[in-house]
Structure 1
Amino acid sequence: MLKLGPILKFLGCDSDEWRLGVLAVTADTDSAPELSIAGKLLTIKSQQLLLYTKSKLWLWECSITLAAKAQSVEYKLNNVTYSITVPAKNQKPAIAYASCNGFSDPKLMKNVADQNALWKRMKALHDGVDTIRTTRYGPWHILLMGGDQVYSDAMWNKKYCRNLAAWAELPWDKRKGRSFTLDMQKEVERFFEELYISRWAQPEISQAMASIPSVMMWDDHDIFDGWGSYPYEQHNCDVYQGIFKVAKAYFKLFQLQSIDALPSATLPDQDVFNQAYRIADIGLVVLDMRTERMPHNPEDEHGNTLPDQVMSEKSWNAVYKWLDMQRDLSHLLVMSSIPVVHPSMDLLESMLGFIPGQQELEDDLRDHWRSKSHMQERLRLIQRLLRLSAEKKCRVTILSGDVHVAAVGVIESDRNDVPPNASVINQLTSSGIVHPSPPAVVRYFLEQACKVVETVDRGVTARMFEFPATTRRLIGARNFLTLEPDAQDRLWANWWVEGEVTPTTKVIHPVQLKQNAIEPQSNPK
């Protein structure tokens, strides 16, 4: 019996070969499933027994040779037929982006009529059969998933992890010295197995993942809420570290489709999961902002205070080394699960006070890039991306999720060392595809905070822009994003918003064109 799958993963495009991974989960008593692509039977790359769900997880790898025209390729898993669309040789890929695939609190489900409505719409648009909007969009070649592919918040409920819940109820002075016991470990392993299988096996989600190869990067809820932003002693306690190790193992298994080694797209010279891809003249960098995220040590053995960290110097060097090697890029997409451009928490705290929904917003923003402890690391990232845009004549666009709204952020530089046509970095935020937005009163204050222009550095500002042809800076409804390339080397960003027939659209120009890179445009289609 097929419990989950097929789940497609994009592994890269090398020498005109579109490389894919495929994952499936069956009952442990089942024989090996058969997978064939274009009539060719594939050999199983690896398998693993999942003890607690009594399941077997199967992995395959394959490649499809790109042709002069885009192709629709059929494949079969256990005699059920699926299809995938691959671009033409040297064609820019059409991309879908989604984040926040779940609920941080079960109570939020009551506010949603159809949990997976946007997954249904994505698949309908991909197939060209959308009944809401007749204009042709898709198919998409890659599905980027920017974090919170699953929500582990229920792990603290004694219904799921009794020993862990009992530990969490203790006062901190009793908790901090306790070990991550074998019973806790088994509970957490069982929890993550069941979470991935039950969440992704929902038909609307599984059908999309079987049709569009994904590139995934985790965020805090794939581990637990706020991971990496707790006080130093709490972050490093045995139970927290034990949970992290289990979450990491299941992230590698289900999201990266890796058992024994890091996936081939993971960058060399690092110990974490930063990824980079080159497809035609588009580059994609996927930042791992959770594995190494940690609070500062109040005092090390030499009496020094160490800074908080999102990514290590070693990881940043691996990312920049890959970027420095790239030639002839027109667009660089940078996946940052946490928005680089967003209102500051200090400003929001002064506005919010104690109002309904404040806690949810604080949970989303407390480990934000604009927290004081991360500002220097953020500044280095912004400066490096501006310099890269100027040197490579490449348009840089940041893709983000996490905050449960859609938004447009813009970083602008008027410094002499940055040419005018490379002085803009756009940030496109899309969140969530399942998780609802904060309450209206919170969104109101957030909208006011979005009007404040931030001075990032001398001659460099960051601001939240109004969506083209609107007066709103935030979209407070569930949404997902698509990026459609055109013949003029532009990318058309379309936010598909629940309850809206027509997508909200913004155009991203390449650096070589002298038009305003944030100019509102109508939809080309």
Structure 2
Amino acid sequence: MIGPVLIFRHLDDTHLHLAAVVTADGPDAPGPFVVDGHEIAATLLTRIDATGIWRFDFAVPRGQNAAYRFAGEDHPIATDVDGDLRIGFVSCNGEEHGDLDRDGDERNAMWMRMDETHRAAPFHLLIHGGDQVYADEITHTHPLTADWPEAVPDRVSEAELDDLRAHLRRGFLHRYVETYSGAGFSRMCAQVPSLMMWDDHDICDGWGSLDEDKLGSPVGQLLFECAREAFLLFQHGATDADVPALFLDESGASLSFRRDLPGVTILAPDLRSERTKARIMGPAGWAAFDAARQDVADRVILVSSVPLLGPRLSIIERIMNALPTMQKYEDDLRDQWQSHAHRAEWQRMLRAVLAMEAAGSSVTAVSGEIHLATRATLDGGRGPVHQLVASGISHRAPPKAWAWTLGTFARLGEAPLAGHPIRIRPLPGQGTNYTAERNFLMIDRRDETWQARWSLEESGVTPSLAI
């Protein structure tokens, strides 16, 4: 069973509005789900075979000790969001190969540490920055997708696609159930409202950076359709009917969203739904983002699933593309804002960040994806724009040699906008630009000042960084 997994909806003057996602086998609704002595009715979102995916919509008073009771267990929720505020950030909750076969204590070690941290000082919000599940292997066990993406069938019948759809829906359900029931995750997400934005592994490795004939094939489109349904269900407690109310683009072509808390705007552009080898966001995504970045709060947390500020990866990209043995990594580099193919779009996003800064907001970008921890700054008009990268809540860290290699390229510097150089910097207390340890991020507002700390698997909690 999944859940309850709390999803942040919105705040009004008196209440924090939430959704809770739960799965249950059989025809009956799960429960009871009780808030302030009142039982909340469950809404059936869909069924996948015999499993129902259900949602409870409820509200708790803000600024007070709040809780709900589900299936006989009490879950407190921190709702005092007007003063000091605590936000967690995680990404990369899995691995490409054999993720569900790993030892649970090893796989979920950082989740259990985060849960201990939460019990000592509760989080108000948990942002998941991409790769909430690693779904790559669900394509391996069906004839139509056994060799995806290297081999894609040219012609498939409707009956074959229907069979593949059922297989993929079961595969996504299994991935989410196994991942979400992990120790630490299940307790954290039952008590801390989440906001989630997907990245490629929530669909398949490199989605959007693969060749157009693969993305646009009937098999590719069906894979995206099933991944999108699962993203809505398990990461937002939603179906297509909920899209206009929850996302910035009412058509659903882009699943970018904005949520507001007192003094802070969470802005999460969707970097996958409209992605191709030639672009990161499409017309719907850009229109939604440009509208949403107006009239933001004094503090903006920009969720960029791939790092917005990075080294000159275009150099590595050209080297790899020239070497036949390395060309298989092309989609990994094309995924990045720093790819030579996306430079103009990267500049557009950086100008948007600087425009928010010029209008009086302090922007902090948070990112994952690279399985390392690092930070960066962009020289702005009122001071540095900070980027905080926390990547690998359960994905094991790459070799330290790779971190050193990236750090070497980072020393070359990068300035896609004249007069606004980007600098990659070590975490507080670390001696290298990239830290090869599993990690999660804590962002705190205390007495109206903001600071960040990383929890590192081996090194412990870093000193605070003023942001």
Give, in whole Å, the separation in 2 of the partners of 1:111 and 1:503: 27
- The match for 1:196 is 176
TM-score of the aligned structures, taking structure 2 as reference length: 0.92
Q: Superposition pairs for residues 350-369 of structure 1, below 5 Å? A: 364-369=332-337
User: Is 2:214 the partner of 1:234?
Assistant: yes
Residue in structure 1 matching 2:131, options 148, 152, 165: 148
- Distance in 2 (CA, whole Å) between partners of 1:446 and 1:109 is 30
Cα distance change, pair 48–182 in 1 and its aligned pair in 2 (3 A): closer
Query: 2:282 matched to which residue of 1?
Result: 312
Distance in 2 of aligned mates of 1:498 and 1:72: 31
| Post-superposition offset of 1:467 | 2.4
Matches of 1:77 and 1:169 in 2, distance apart? 42
Q: Does the Cα contact within 8 Å between 1:75 and 1:83 map onto a contact in 2? A: yes
2:449 corresponds to 1:490: yes
Q: Distance between the aligned counterparts of 2:326 and 2:459, measured in 1?
A: 27
Q: What is the rounded CA distance, in whole Å, between the counterparts of 1:171 and 1:203 in structure 2?
A: 37
Q: Give the corresponding residue for 2:256.
A: 274
Q: Does 1:346 align with 2:314?
A: yes
1:464 equivalent in structure 2: 424
Q: Corresponding residue for 1:517?
A: none
Instruction: Give secondary structure in 2 for the equivalent of 1:496.
Output: strand
Query: How far 1:79 moved relative to its partner?
Result: 1.6
| TM-aligned CA distance change 1:277 to 1:227, over 3 Å | same
Alignment of 1:107-506 (within 5 A): 114-128=106-120, 138-158=121-141, 161-165=142-146, 168=148, 171=151, 175-178=153-156, 181-259=161-239, 260-262=241-243, 264-269=245-250, 271=252, 272-295=254-277, 308-326=278-296, 329-349=297-317, 364-391=332-359, 393-413=360-380, 418=381, 422-487=382-447, 489-506=448-465
Give the match for residue 64 of structure 1.
60
Q: Which runs of 5+ in 1 are unaligned?
A: 129-137, 296-307, 509-525
1:364/1:207 CA distance change after superposition, 3 Å: farther
SS at the partner of 2:78? strand
Greater Cα radius of gyration, structure 1 or 2: 1
CA shift, 1:49, in A, is 2.1
Counterparts in 2 of 1:169 and 1:200: CA distance versus 1, 3 Å? closer
- Measured in 2, the distance between the counterparts of 1:207 and 1:106 equals 24
Q: Which residue of 1 aligns with 2:17?
A: 19
- For residues 96 and 201 of structure 1, the distance between their equivalents in structure 2, rounded to whole angstroms, comes to 19
2:139–2:148 contact (8 Å) kept in structure 1: yes
**C-alpha deviation, 1:234, in angstroms:** 2.0
SS at match of 2:293: helix
Looking at structure 1, the residues matched to 33 and 23 of structure 2 have their Cα atoms a distance apart, in angstroms, of: 13
Q: CA deviation at 1:40?
A: 2.2
Larger displacement relative to structure 2 (435-444 or 371-380) = 435-444
1:348·1:446 contact (CA, 8 Å) conserved in 2? no
Structure 1 171/211 Cα, relative in aligned 2: closer, same or farther at 3 Å? closer
> Over residues 256-283 of structure 1, what are the superposed CA-to-partner deviations in whole Å (9 max), with x where a residue is unaligned?
1112321733225553211111111111
1:380 is aligned with what amino acid? R
Distance 1:191 1:66 in 2: 38
How big is the shift at 1:361? 7.2
- State the 1:143 CA deviation: 0.5
Letter in 2 for 1:450: A
Cα distance between partner residues in 1 of 2:465 and 2:349: 24
Q: Give CA-to-partner distance per residue, 1:404-442, whole Å, 9 cap, x none.
A: 0011011114xxxx4xxx242111000010001222322
- In structure 2, do the counterparts of structure 1 residues 446 and 291 end up closer, same or farther at CA, with 3 Å as the change threshold? same
Following TM superposition, by how much is the alpha carbon of 1:365 offset from its aligned partner in structure 2, in angstroms?
A: 3.1
Whether the 8 Å CA contact 1:16–1:65 is kept in 2: the answer is yes
Q: Is the 2:369–2:391 Cα contact (8 Å) retained in structure 1?
A: yes
CA-to-partner distance for each residue in 1:340-387, whole Å, 9 max, x for gaps?
1122333335788999x9899766433111111211111011111112
Aligned to 1:84, the other structure's residue is in SS state: strand
- How far apart, CA to CA, are the structure 2 residues paired with 1:190 and 1:336? 29
Counterpart code for 2:280: V
| Structure 2 SS opposite 1:383 | helix
Which sits farther off after the overlay, 39-48 or 403-412? 39-48
Letter in 1 for 2:292: W
Root-mean-square deviation (CA), in Å?
2.6
Residues matched between the structures, number: 462
User: TM-score when scaled to structure 1?
Assistant: 0.82
Q: For residue 485 of structure 1, give the secondary structure of its aligned residue in structure 2.
A: strand
Q: 1:360 to 1:234 in 2, by over 3 A?
A: closer
CA separation in 1, counterparts of 2:262 and 2:45? 33
Q: Which residue of 2 aligns with 1:304?
A: none
Q: Report if the CA contact (8 A) 2:45-2:233 is conserved.
A: no
Are the equivalent residues in 2 in contact too, given 1:364–1:403 (CA < 8 A)?
no
Query: Kindly tell me: are residues 112 and 425 of structure 1, through their superposed partners in 2, closer, same or farther at Cα, counting changes over 3 Å?
Result: farther
Alpha carbons of 1:29 and 1:151: their partners in 2 closer, same or farther (altered >3 Å)? same
C-alpha displacement of 1:60: 1.1
Task: State the distance in 2 between where 1:400 and 1:351 align.
Answer: 25
TM-aligned CA deviation for residue 44 of structure 1: 2.2
Contact 2:90 2:129 in 1 (8 A): yes
SS in 1 for 2:4: strand
Q: CA deviation at 1:468?
A: 2.9
Q: Does structure 2 retain, via aligned residues, the 8 Å contact 1:49–1:57?
A: yes
Q: Residue 315 and residue 101 in structure 1: after superposition, are their counterparts in 2 closer, same or farther (change >3 A)?
A: same
Note the residue ranges of structure 2 that are not aligned, 5 or more in a row.
none
Q: Distance in 2 between matches of 1:468 and 1:481?
A: 13
Letter in 1 for 2:116: A
Give, in whole Å, the separation in 2 of the partners of 1:210 and 1:263: 26
Asked if 2 retains the 8 angstrom alpha-carbon contact of 1:93 and 1:141, the reply is yes
Instruction: Name the counterpart of 2:38.
Output: 40
State the distance in 1 between where 2:354 and 2:100 align. Answer: 39
State the secondary structure of the residue aligned to 1:388. Answer: helix
Is the Cα contact below 8 Å between 2:22 and 2:30 reproduced in 1? Answer: no
Query: 1:314 is aligned with what amino acid?
Result: A
* Pairing partner for 1:104 from 96, 116, 129: 96
Aligned residue for 2:70? 77
- Aligned counterparts of 2:350 and 2:62: Cα–Cα separation in 1: 35
Q: 1:261 aligns to what SS in structure 2? A: helix
Once the two structures are overlaid, the 10-residue window that deviates more, 56-65 or 476-485, is: 56-65
Residues 1:176 and 1:409: Cα distance change in structure 2 (over 3 Å)? farther
Task: Please state how far the C-alpha of 1:21 moved relative to its aligned partner.
Answer: 0.5
**Structure 1 residues 285 and 343: alpha-carbon distance in aligned structure 2, compared to 1, 3 A threshold:** same
